[in-house]
């Protein structure tokens, strides 16, 4: 039987969980998770969630910091509505069972790069885990939410009128593709860090929502703005482990092997300059010295303090033989966050009727050319609420839409592949190509090379897709190829440097280039 529901929510990170929980008050919800429900970027969030809750703070200051980090490309209206709603959203999280760290009564506020004051609510250094566990508990208890773990969405389905009416979904346990039909489909599939070889993101972050939306004809915006986090743990056995910016907020210094603090003098905010600046400074330091990493020095803090404020990071470092209380932590930049994504309006609606996007997969206009730290969890919460408000106020958008069963998945003449090595080779090649040619520092020549190579890879991958039976690896390979190509094309279209997009050919911002980069399959 094809499952059908009022709302199909694809993705169970913060954006998906909160959307599903809220929408279950309006109708039936199917909530899909590619692997186990908790796995996603949200679960690994460390620093916290930004909100002007301190009596001395004000949303207008939060807005100013967001706009400044965004380097001229934020949608100011969206910025103001998001930061204005932030205090209410963190209160709501607390009501849903999230425990934020507190100093006596009021929350303990952290400081991160680009913020002009302490503003980040956190749960120690495991904020994401605390939030996801609380919301997952709610969704598991919600009778209106049907959680389907191990279900990988393959493609969106559009009806004869062009509206989205659900998705084809691969069930890992059976290897079969099921048809999920819905009156409204919500993409909450997170980011795409895995498009790069070095990333802070877990394995599920392969940009599936962006790729599916693009194939369905939705508009993607600003895909060139990929945020590289300056400090991921550098150790041969450490896979994707972040060293939170909150450490720099507590006085951590970036030093080279000799202990020289190379950020001092480079920017008035030094270590707490916006992320693009710090990541580029580290990149240039690594290229200049030929070293493989720089170091984050926290030795000014006591072991007791570090253990209680940053227990997860402290323990992880110790597991690799690094005692951060006595020795600097080896760190490198890594792909962390996609500021671009599926373009939505201020309610999460995409350009395809019946299709919505929330969270990191969406481009709402909040982040502009560079996201301010800890604004992403906030964006998930605000847009889950805005989507819910919109769909409850405008029931005609979904309630009367008939759910007519679309054709079942047709595997065609696809056969089982005995060439898994081809998929892993392509996967590796794309991720390395993106790191080397479309990374922190770009140039016209590098982008053109990447583009031409991707043209060939896309043709090859498209062929496997039709020839071989679907596997999660093949689905992800196809998606990272779409996202990589979108990043390259958007980067080639931007003839300036702005925020996270830095190119040697146009090293300065150019006023006439101050607009979003829009891509749609039908405008190619
Ligand atoms: P995710 O949490 O990534 O969830 C995506 C979901 O979609 C997952 O359940 C996944 O299984 C599912 N999915 C994906 N593809 C499919 C598919 N094809 N079919 C079915 N399901 C699918 N931001 C902050 O604001 N503050 C922080 O402190 C912070 N720290 C961070 C630390 C790390 C290490 C990382 C990686 C990110 C951090 N960020 C932080 C960014 C922030 O965590 C993310 O942007 C945010 O959590 C994204 O939430 P999401 O719900 O959109 O996506
Ligand atoms: C961090 O803790 O450094 C990550 C914060 C973020 O990405 O917003």
**Index of the ligand 2 atom closest to the CA of residue 243:** 3
Q: Is the CB of 222 under 6 A from ligand 1?
A: no
184 lines ligand 1 (CB under 6 A): no
Q: Nearest C-alpha to atom 2 of ligand 2 is from which residue?
A: 47
* Ligand 2 mean position, distance from CA 244 (Å): 6
Structural domain boundaries of the chain?
4-47+125-222+339-397, 226-335, 421-523
Give, as one character, the DSSP assignment of residue 415. Answer: B
**CA atoms of 270 and 250, how far apart (whole Å):** 13
CATH class label, 421-523: mainly alpha
42 Cβ inside 6 Å of ligand 2: no
Neighbours of 453 (CB within 10 A): 16
Nearest residue CA, atom 29 of ligand 1? 45
Which stretch of DSSP H or E encloses residue 283? helix 275-289
CA–chain centroid gap for 87, Å, is: 22
User: Which of 244, 276, 359 best tests ligand 2's pocket when mutated (most atoms within 8 Å of CB)?
Assistant: 244
Q: Quick one: pLDDT at residue 395?
A: 93
CB 164 within 8 A of CB 216: yes
Residue 359 beta carbon below 6 angstroms from any ligand 1 atom: yes
Question: How far, in Å, CA of 351 to CA of 356, rounded?
Answer: 9
Specify the pLDDT at position 404: 76
**What is the position in ligand 1's atom list of the atom closest to the CA of 151?**
20
The closest alpha carbon to 15, from 35, 27, 34, 31, belongs to 31
Pocket flag, ligand 1, residue 10 (CB < 6 Å): yes
226: β partners: 338
Under 8 Å between Cβ of 338 and 200: no
Long-range contacts of 174-177, Cβ-Cβ distance < 8 Å, separation of 24 or more: 175/469, 175/471, 177/409, 177/411, 177/470
pLDDT at site 1: 64
Ligand 2 binding pocket includes 179 (Cβ within 6 Å):
no
How distant is the alpha carbon of residue 461 from its chain centre? 24
At residue 153, what are phi and psi to the nearest 5 degrees? -65, 135
User: How many H-runs (helices) and E-runs (strands) does the chain carry?
Assistant: 13, 18
What are the residues facing 356 on neighbouring strands?
Answer: 186, 349
Pocket of ligand 1, candidates 11, 37, 232, 312: which has the most ligand atoms within 8 Å of its Cβ, to mutate?
11
The domain made up of 226-335 has a fold known as: Flavocytochrome C3; Chain A, domain 1 (3.90.700)
Widest CA span in the chain: 67
**CB-facing half-sphere around the CA of 12: CA atoms within 13 A:** 30
Residue 332, beta-bridge partner list:
232
Is the minimum distance from the CB of 379 to ligand 2 under 6 angstroms?
A: no
Which ligand has the minimum distance to the alpha carbon of residue 377? 1
Is ligand 1 within 6 A of the CB of residue 368? Answer: no
Query: Ligand nearest 375 Cα, by number?
Result: 1
C-alpha span between 238 and 484 (Å, rounded): 25
Ligand 1 center from residue 181 Cα (angstroms): 24
Q: Give the three-class secondary structure for 242.
A: strand
Question: Which of 122, 373, 378 has most ligand 2 atoms within 8 Å of its beta carbon, as the pocket-test mutant?
Answer: 373
DSSP letters for 24-47: TTTS-EEEE-SSSTT-STGGG--S
What contacts 324, CB < 8 A, 6 or more positions away?
Answer: 298, 299, 306, 310, 313, 314, 317
Give the number of the ligand closest to the Cα of residue 274.
Answer: 2
Q: Is any ligand 2 atom within 6 A of the Cβ of residue 46?
A: yes
Residue 19: closest CA among 400, 390, 455: 390
Q: What is the pLDDT along the chain (524 residues), one digit of tens a residue?
A: 678 999 999 999 999 999 999 999 999 999 999 999 999 999 999 999 999 999 999 999 999 999 999 999 999 999 999 999 999 999 999 999 999 999 888 999 999 999 999 999 999 999 999 999 999 999 999 999 999 999 999 999 999 899 999 999 999 999 999 999 999 999 999 999 999 999 999 999 999 999 999 999 999 999 999 999 999 999 988 888 999 999 999 999 999 999 999 998 899 999 999 899 999 999 999 999 999 999 999 999 999 999 999 999 999 999 999 999 999 999 999 999 999 999 999 999 999 999 999 999 999 999 999 999 999 999 999 999 999 999 999 998 898 887 777 888 888 778 887 777 888 899 999 999 999 999 999 999 999 999 999 999 999 998 888 888 899 999 999 999 999 999 999 999 999 999 999 999 999 999 999 999 999 987 64
For residue 270, what is the DSSP state? G
Residue 215 CA to residue 208 CA, distance in Å, equals 11
Q: Which atom of ligand 2 is nearest to the CA of 245?
A: 3
Q: How far apart are the first and last CA of the chain?
A: 38
Q: 335 CB under 6 A from ligand 1?
A: no
Mutate to test the pocket of ligand 2, among 13, 42, 47 (most ligand atoms within 8 A of CB): 47
Structure tokens at 335: 């792909």
**How far is the C-alpha of 19 from the C-alpha of 282, rounded, in Å?**
38
Active site residues: 275
Q: What is the pLDDT of residue 107?
A: 96
- Decide yes or no: CATH 3.30.70.260 for domain 4-47+125-222+339-397: no
343 to 213, 235, 355, 473: CA distances (angstroms): 10, 37, 11, 26
Q: Which ligand is nearest to the CA of 9?
A: 1
């Amino acid at each position: 039987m094809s499952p059908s529901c009022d709302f199909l929510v694809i993705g169970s990170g913060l954006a998906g969980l909160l959307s599903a929980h809220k929408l279950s008050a309006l109708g039936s919800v199917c909530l899909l998770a590619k692997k186990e429900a908790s796995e996603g970027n949200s679960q690994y969030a460390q620093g916290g969630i930004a909100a002007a809750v301190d009596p001395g703070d004000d949303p207008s200051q939060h807005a100013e910091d967001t706009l400044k980090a965004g380097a001229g490309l934020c949608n100011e209206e969206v910025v103001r509505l998001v930061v204005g709603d932030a205090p209410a959203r963190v209160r709501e999280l607390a009501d849903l069972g999230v425990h934020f760290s507190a100093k006596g009564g009021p929350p303990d506020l952290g400081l991160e790069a680009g913020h002009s004051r302490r503003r980040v609510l956190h749960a120690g250094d495991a904020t994401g885990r605390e939030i996801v566990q609380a919301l997952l508990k709610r969704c598991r208890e919600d009778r209106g939410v049907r959680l389907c773990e191990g279900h990988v969405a393959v493609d969106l389905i559009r009806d004869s009128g062009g509206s989205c009416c659900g998705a084809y979904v691969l069930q890992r346990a059976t290897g079969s593709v099921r048809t999920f039909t819905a009156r409204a489909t919500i993409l909450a599939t997170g980011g795409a860090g895995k498009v790069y070889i070095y990333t802070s993101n877990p394995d599920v972050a392969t940009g599936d929502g962006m790729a599916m939306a693009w194939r369905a004809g939705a508009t993607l915006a600003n895909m060139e703005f990929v945020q590289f986090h300056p400090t991921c743990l550098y150790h041969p056995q450490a896979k994707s482990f972040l060293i939170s910016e909150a450490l720099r907020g507590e006085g951590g210094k970036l030093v080279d092997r000799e202990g020289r603090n190379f950020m001092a003098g480079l920017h008035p905010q030094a270590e707490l300059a916006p992320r693009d600046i710090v990541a580029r400074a580290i990149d240039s330091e690594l290229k200049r010295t030929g070293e493989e990493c720089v170091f984050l020095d926290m030795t000014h803090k006591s072991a007791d303090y570090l253990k209680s404020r940053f227990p997860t990071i402290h323990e992880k470092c110790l597991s690799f033989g690094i005692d951060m209380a006595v020795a600097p932590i080896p760190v490198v930049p890594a792909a962390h966050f996609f500021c671009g994504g599926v373009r939505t309006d201020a309610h999460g609606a995409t350009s395809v009727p019946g299709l919505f996007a929330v969270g990191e997969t969406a481009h709402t206009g909040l982040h502009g050319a560079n996201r301010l730290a800890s604004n992403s969890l906030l964006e998930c919460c605000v847009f889950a609420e805005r989507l819910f408000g919109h769909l409850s106020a405008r029931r005609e958008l979904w309630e009367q839409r008939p759910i007519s069963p679309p054709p079942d998945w047709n595997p065609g003449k696809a056969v089982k592949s005995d060439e898994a090595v081809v998929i892993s080779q392509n996967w590796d090649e794309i991720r390395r190509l993106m790191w080397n040619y479309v990374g922190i520092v770009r140039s016209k020549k590098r982008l053109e090379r990447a583009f031409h190579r991707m043209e060939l890879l896309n043709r090859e991958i498209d062929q496997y897709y039709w020839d071989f039976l679907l596997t999660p690896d093949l689905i992800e390979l196809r998606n990272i190829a779409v996202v990589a190509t979108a990043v390259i094309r958007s980067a080639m279209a931007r003839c300036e440097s702005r925020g996270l997009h830095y190119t040697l050919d146009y090293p300065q911002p150019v006023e006439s280039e101050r607009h979003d980069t829009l891509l749609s399959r039908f405008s190619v």
